[in-house]
Structure 1
Amino acid sequence: MSYTIALNFEDGVSRFIGCNAGETVLDAAYRQKINLPMDCSDGVCGTCKGRCEQGDFEMGDDYLEEALSEEEEAEGQVLTCQMVPSSDCVIQVPVASSLCKTAVGAMDATLARVEPLSEDSLELVLELDDEGGLAFLPGQYVNIQVPGSDQTRSYSFSSLPGSREASFLIRNLPEGLMSGYLRQRAAAGDRLTLTGPLGSFYLRQVTRPVLMLAGGTGLAPFLAMLEQLAEKGSDQPIHLIYGVNCDDHLVKLAALDDFVERVPEFSYTTVVVDEQSRNTRKGYVTHHMPSEVLHDGDVDVYLCGPPPMVDAVLGHFREQDITPANFYYEKFTPNVTEAAA
């Protein structure tokens, strides 16, 4: 039996390794040429200390209190030289990936299709060369090289981790380098290179109610999260508020309706800024955040959207004296060509 261990380094790089039953994380990493910090490998020095965010494991008792205190262990900290997983795990490694003689991964893919979703967004679907797909944490992103250039653009996955097909929601910018390629030159069979996965915005273990806040193509990472929740199950209330500028920018509603059927306790609402909208809820996401979805603060909030939306939500929480149990957010800024910048 083997378990998948996600190693998240402090520079945003994630690497995934296989860990055999009875094997320590440190040994598994070294076997796969990732040199996690260590001095002794005997539970004495504490150099290999990290934090396990999710997963089951055994630590045994062959380490010193000076290397890992009871308080640190209660906070989820581990010694990778002693940690023996009994499930898939996610570990925060408090050093840069380069110091562990590893770097961001790369994978090639073939363009399968480009689907216009609205005047504002496109869906890009790639077929990965590796039949096993790409391991990532739902919510993370990759950098995709734009064919015909040496530049890359960053996009969050909207597909399930490990799938052979990887999908992304792309904002359709008139002067955007990637969106220009997708509108004008892209053809099935084109070759693209992905580097990643990257990012600290990803779904943690669901132990309490979840509130998801999406703005525009910031919906993408939540589609990946919901795919995983549909596969693994959840008994916690999960609510998504999805905000856009006008009615035509609402996309993937059929997919969201499908998640209502597939994910227990999942619900969603949409909000449209345009005052002429046909939508029931007009204005901004902060105008339509009822108290019941905040669960008196006992809620994990995930937010992905453009900087003004992120700043507005942060300001709203401060003004309303709302302090969620956990608050994870990611701002995205559209890239345009230099001529348009």
Structure 2
Amino acid sequence: MIYGHGDDIYNYKNIRINFSSNVNPQGINTGLQEHLKSCIARLNAYPEPLAENLARRIEQQKGLSPGSVLITNGAVEAFYILASLFQKKKSLIYTPSFSEYEDACKMYKHNIEFCSNSLFLEKNEKPFDLVWICNPNNPDGKTFNKKILKEKIQQNPNTLFVIDEAYVEFLNKNISLQNEVSKYTNLVVVRSFTKRFSIPGLRLGYLVCPPELITNLRKKLMPWRINSLALEAGLYCFSNNYNDDFQVSEILTESQRFQIEIAQIKGFEVIPSETSFFLVKGPVNAGKLKKKLAGEYKILIRDASNFRGLSEFHFRLSTQLPDKNNELLKVLKTWSC
């Protein structure tokens, strides 16, 4: 799905408040901004072909096994190279979820089965070559139990579990399996710089998996996929110079307040979420609501009707700063039924 994602701000003029993209509402770290400005002169040279230095730094900082990290052009590239390596295999995708798992599998002719997230506990993954899970899940913020995930991975050694942890830092609990990868031969964890560091325009992510799988994945890659500024951003974010001002508790507290306030508006049903984004089922068609908000108020939301299993009335919101959230609340009350 090239089109139909959130943050399609390029289709609209003069958007003031963007609720459609699940990135850090506190914006880009000021130190990172200054660092990137100082790196402009380095654009006259080629970057590393496979971003090995950034991979090694992440391994060292996160206590991961040597050779277990592969840098990707955004987390999305990870899904496509994995699907490419296992083309024509059988994949299970829990839904509703990020559409790129399905698109990557279709591109490489996987036999795909979809299963509702609500059936996760009872579903048998043994018949599948790959299982795709987003944790916490996009678009509803659902979290999958870490202990149960580990049990399923252990019980299905011939099934590769691809766990997308793009939003895992937007929680007040630790559900990450990143540091568990060395214990299994059938686990891949995908991470993103986009959300936590608020740099979607630079396209930077990484995956963690057994070194043997990394070796095979590298055969699918072209050189210089990661541009110099993206590499510099990654190296800076994992350096001692990075002054971390990420206030996840503040974001999540505001998210809970925002969810409660919307749920009190007649006609709007909030699907509770522990993270910074959440689903709402409104009283009107989500596409029409999006169009009206963008056209009249310069506010952008995510029409979620194209997620499998959701209706034409579902939309997704990513919590912003309180004053911006209050502005949307005021507008939504005019749609109250």
- TM-score bin (small chain): under 0.3
Larger C-alpha radius of gyration, 1 or 2? 1
TM-score (norm 2): 0.26
**Relative contact order (alpha carbons < 8 A, sep ≥ 6): 1 or 2 greater?**
2
Give the helix-richer structure, 1 or 2. 2
